Structure 1
Amino acid sequence: MTVAAVSKSAVLLRAFAPTTDVLSTRALAARTGIPRSTVHVLATTLAAEGLLETVPGRGWRLGPLLVGLAGQIIERTGLVAAVEGALGGLRRVPGQEVHVGQLVGGWTVYLHREAGHVRPPMDNRVGLRAPAWRGGCGKAALARLPADEIDERIARLCRDEDLAAPEHAALHDELAAVRRTGYVVSSTFQAGRTSVAAAVVDADGRPVGGLSVAGPSPLFSRAAVARAAEDVVEAAVRAGRQLAT
């Protein structure tokens, strides 16, 4: 496969957004600007290697090989192992959930969830990726990066995914507040839901991701936010210590 073909294959894989499970050859061509005939050849090759798979009558979706490849990256960071044993007691109120998200470029990828009995549940299902500036786990992690690196990660994601960039000054003001307090209270990921999140950092002080307590906004009175903030910060510190070992 030529360098150009590899590049185009990467463009095809990136076309599958978090809310887009299946794309036809026509849809892939429209999203990527790659001719339909080329899309078909590349997609067929990627499917033969397990990077895509066919959905009869509908098109293509991401293939099973990506699960194993992603699993190696997740295991390498150690975030899931680090939070084991660090999350006990975080859900103090029925209906609250606990989320763990890994920072990957400008994305948050949700790796763990402990859900309460509220219906409907939150959108933070395991495996979901979302722009890091939209949710509590991502904001907490971004706040531990230098400002120029934050801007670079956001710019790259928005360019690659054709997303509108967040309002620069407002985001940096919010992240500055996160640095001062050590946690973030966010209600921007899902309407009617609030999360209280803190960053998990490695031995070098670099953010690996974040963990949060979240749920319906009425559950988060001022006292509940203060209690949740204390809990998530303590849990994030414990997870960071585990990462260091």
Structure 2
Amino acid sequence: MSKSAVLLRAFGPTTDVLSTRALAARTGIPRSTVHVLASTLAAEGLLETVPGRGWRLGPLLVGLAGQIIERTGLVAAVEGGLGGLRRAAGQEVHVAQLVGGWTVYLHREAGPVRAPMDNRVGLRAPAWRGGCGKAALSRLPAAEVDERVGRLCRDEGLPPPDRGALHDELGAARRAGYVVSSTFQAGRTSVAAPVVDADGRPVGGLSVAGPSSLFSRAVLARCAQDVVEAASRAARQLTP
């Protein structure tokens, strides 16, 4: 991997700004080399300077990422098709795309009553931590799940999840067609279903989520039916 790529990968989902010293510590690249590389990347729009603080990802990446998002068609597929997702006050709809071992949240619909949630648009999170990601992973072969999860953990220095527990959860989600997850944020539950393309490959997932207290057994059953139907509608829109 080139040193420039190593620098870019140093910026994780919870790391917005890194100083030259921090970049050197994270990457093992000498500080003088980091400064030269970062300056070059900034001149190309891949990084930008934050006065007095260091560097952050640059605006060119937004356009490049936008091309990838548009290519999958997930956002266009769900547009106008989420109205059937019945929600109680405080519940939200989330749509996320599967990218390697990550999920990237692309769409969020919240009502007038909002509960604090971490699923902001643009957030990137390990796929096995949230409902949308687990739903998407459930449509992949076990070996591919292991490969994606393992690579992400190695690249980001993250502790791997319990492999057996994860595969048990994904297997149950595959059989049911949806997953109920409360592991992304304490006190929050999501009911999620995978959105697949014409070949049955997962593009991402969509969910209804909110405070766990809002999800009685009856509400869970209703939400499960709703998200499965919404995911099926989105999948039909993806079909050429």
TM-score (norm 1): 0.96
**1:197 maps to which residue?**
192
CA distance in 2, matches of 1:120, 1:210: 21
CA distance in 1, matches of 2:127, 2:39: 32
**2:5 maps to which residue?**
10
How far did residue 86 of structure 1 move?
1.5
**1:158 maps to which residue?**
153
The amino acid across from 2:39 in the alignment is T
SS for the counterpart of 2:117 is coil
How far did residue 116 of structure 1 move?
2.8
How far did residue 119 of structure 1 move?
4.6
Segment of structure 1 superposing worse, 155-164 or 113-122:
113-122
Structure 2 residue runs of 5 or longer lacking an equivalent are: none
The residue correspondences of 1:66-215 to structure 2 (distance < 5 A) are 66-215=61-210
Structure 1 residue runs of 5 or longer lacking an equivalent are: none
**2:35 maps to which residue?**
40
Query: Does structure 1 conserve the Cα–Cα contact (< 8 Å) formed by 2:115 and 2:210?
Result: no
* Percent identity between the two aligned chains: 86
Query: Does structure 1 conserve the Cα–Cα contact (< 8 Å) formed by 2:108 and 2:120?
Result: yes
Query: Does structure 1 conserve the Cα–Cα contact (< 8 Å) formed by 2:20 and 2:31?
Result: yes
How far did residue 97 of structure 1 move?
0.3
Query: Does structure 1 conserve the Cα–Cα contact (< 8 Å) formed by 2:89 and 2:114?
Result: no
The counterpart of 2:48, out of the listed 49, 53, 68, is 53
Number of positions where the alignment pairs a residue of Structure 1 with one of Structure 2: 240
Q: CA RMSD in A?
A: 0.9
CA distance in 2, matches of 1:92, 1:20: 33
**1:225 maps to which residue?**
220
Query: Does structure 1 conserve the Cα–Cα contact (< 8 Å) formed by 2:90 and 2:115?
Result: no
SS for the counterpart of 1:54 is strand
